[in-house]
Chains A and B, each alone.
Chain A
Amino acid sequence: MVQYPDGRLDASFAALSDATRRAVLERLGRGDASISDLAEAFHMTLTGMRKHVGVLEHAELVTTEKVGRVRTCRLGPRRLEDETAWIEQQRRLWDARFDVLEQVVAERRWEERNDGHPKRN
């Protein structure tokens, strides 16, 4: 089993448990944006958006940089690690799916034999 260092995955999942924050990550996947861009895009106050970005920043999913009066947000350093974790999650999902598919196929073949239908080959 893949082991994750102390609670960092928890921070990621907590950050990702909120639909707005997931949407913010999707938005930043398309390009960097300022807090006010994001607040406007999601019809939120600046304060509300700052809180969401703060949670994402804590989980290292987002980094921010202040230039002059504008704070720019971009996807953070967790991206590569996230890729490994995500791909492993996908593999487990498919593995579980395929295990059930194999059972479904076995049952189907059994039914075909017992219905007396010739096997279609």
Chain B
Amino acid sequence: MDTRSATEATTTMNRTTIERTSEQELVVTRTIDGPRDVVFEAWTNAELFRQWWVPKSIGVKLLSCEVDARVGGGYRLTFDNGTDEPMAFFGRYLEVSPPTRLVWTNEEGDEGMVVTTVTFEDHGAGTRLVVHDRYPSKEALDAAIASGATGWHAETFDQLDELLVKRGTSTRA
């Protein structure tokens, strides 16, 4: 068992933090090892993006991944989540400013468009990432929460826990 509590993990350097900063905003932060230009490329190059956006541990399979990271360009991801209907996530890029800022829309939801803004800042030898999701309304974010918008199940998170514990003991100081 991992003896660190979730709270401790969030406050450790370089770890992922998440906060609902307002009724309709969610902010995720993390510092990644590596320079901004390479980190930015990993968000905008489909070949690289598909390698990390859907970690194997979450138990859904990425079926397709199209990324056209230009202003007005689109992206479309489809997943096999074990049901008959593949899940699709899609939208378009509103701003692409390498290597500092990336803004896209999430248009798959019934609750209106979510806008995601990612900023990339130098942080020592690494890159500080801030992922900001703005939901169209308080009701839209509440509904996403109520419906478990990601569709992941309890078992999946147990698998994810195992993986994180393994990673924690093998690569983390």
Contact of A98 among B16, B57, B157 (CB under 8 A): B16
| A26 with B110, Cβ < 8 A, contacts A86-B145, A97-B52 known | yes
Docked-complex contact A1 and B6, CB < 8 angstroms: yes
Docked-complex contact B164 and A102, CB < 8 angstroms: no
Residues of B near A108 (CB, < 8 A) are 38, 41-42, 48
Docked-complex contact B18 and A87, CB < 8 angstroms: yes
Residues of A near B131 (CB, < 8 A) are 94
| A101 with B152, Cβ < 8 A, contacts A88-B6, A95-B30, A109-B34 known | no
| A106 with B34, Cβ < 8 A, contacts A75-B142, A100-B55 known | yes
Tell whether A93 is near chain B: CB-to-CB under 8 Å.
yes
* A interface residues, how many (CB within 8 angstroms): 47
A97 to B60, CA, bound (A): 13
* B interface residues, how many (CB within 8 angstroms): 55
Residues of B near A121 (CB, < 8 A) are 35, 37
A23 to B111, CA, bound (A): 11
Tell whether A29 is near chain B: CB-to-CB under 8 Å.
yes
Chain B: minimal CB distance from A102 (Å): 5
Interface set, chain A 51-67, CB cutoff 8 A to B: 61
Docked-complex contact B39 and A29, CB < 8 angstroms: no
Tell whether A42 is near chain B: CB-to-CB under 8 Å.
no
Nearest residue, chain A, Cβ from B37: A120
Contact of B32 among A88, A96, A101 (CB under 8 A): A101
14 contacts between A and B (CB under 8 A): A1-B1, A26-B143, A26-B147, A30-B143, A83-B20, A90-B26, A91-B6, A94-B16, A96-B58, A96-B163, A98-B30, A98-B129, A102-B34, A108-B48
